[in-house]
Chains A and B, each alone.
Chain A
Amino acid sequence: MLSKEEVQKIAKLSRLYLSETEIEGYQKKLSRVLEAVHSLSKIADLEKGYQTHASEDTQGLRQDTAEIFTNREVLLSNAPSLEENQFKVPTVVEDEA
Chain B
Amino acid sequence: MKEIQGWTIETLISEYRKKTVKPSEVASSLLEAAQNSNSRLNIFLELNHDRVIKEALQLDAKLDQMDRYPLFGVPITVKDNFLVTGYKATAGSQILKNYVAPFTATCVQKLIDAGAIILGKTNCDEFAMGSSNENSSFGPVRNPWDPARVPGGSSGGSAASVAGSFCFGSLGTDTGGSIRQPASLCGVVGLKPTYGRVSRYGIIAYASSLDQAGPLTKTVWDTARVLEAMSGYDPKDATSSQAPVPAFSQLLHQTKPKPFKVGVLEQFPEGVHKEVVVSYEKALEALKTQGIEIVKVKLPYLEYALATYYLIAPSEASSNLARYDGIHYGHQSEETSDIETLYSKSRGEGFGPEVKLRIMVGTFALSSGYYDAYYEKATQVRKKIKDDFLKAFESVDAIVTPTSPTTAFKLGEKTEDPVSMYLSDIFTIPVNLAGLPGLSVPCGKDTLGLPIGLQFIGRPLQEVDLLQLAYLYEKARGQWALPT
Chain A residues in contact with chain B, CB under 8 A? Answer: 7, 10-18, 22, 25-26, 29-30, 32-34, 36-41, 43, 46-55, 57-62, 71, 74-75, 77-81, 87-92
Contacts and interface: CB of A to CB of B under 8 A. Distances in A.
Nearest to B375: A50
Given A58-B241, A60-B240, A80-B327, A36 B337 contact: no
25 contacts: A13-B367, A14-B356, A14-B360, A15-B343, A16-B356, A17-B341, A18-B356, A30-B361, A34-B361, A40-B308, A40-B381, A46-B381, A49-B376, A53-B433, A53-B434, A54-B209, A57-B461, A58-B196, A58-B241, A78-B99, A78-B329, A80-B332, A81-B327, A90-B338, A92-B339
A17 B347 contact: yes
A36 B240 contact: no
Contact of A14 (B318, B338, B383): B318
A36 B307 contact: yes
A10 B363 CA distance: 7
Given A53-B379, A53-B383, A26 B235 contact: no
A49 B396 CA distance: 31
Contacts of B243: 57
Interface majority SS on A: helix, strand, loop or mixed? loop
Contacts, number: 178
B295 interface: no
Name the residue in B326, B337, B343, B377 with the highest tally of chain A Cβ atoms < 10 Å from its Cβ. B377
B5 to A, nearest CB: 35
A74 B308 contact: no
Contacts of B378: 37, 40
Given A51-B382, A78-B100, A90 B360 contact: no
Contacts of A57: 196, 241-243, 460-461
Interface residues of B, number: 76
A37 B357 contact: no
B330 interface: yes
A47 B383 contact: yes
A51 B434 CA distance: 12
Nearest to B85: A74
Contact of A58 (B239, B363, B383, B386): B239
Which A-B residue pairs are the 4 nearest by beta carbons?
A: A17-B348, A80-B332, A58-B196, A78-B329
Contacts of B422: 36
Contact of B196 (A17, A30, A51, A55): A55
B304 A43 contact: yes
Interface in B221-254: 233, 235, 238-243
Given A55-B435, A78-B329, A39 B304 contact: yes
B328 interface: yes
Nearest to B385: A53
B239 A37 contact: no
B373 interface: yes
Contacts of B367: 10, 13
Contacts of B100: 74, 77-78
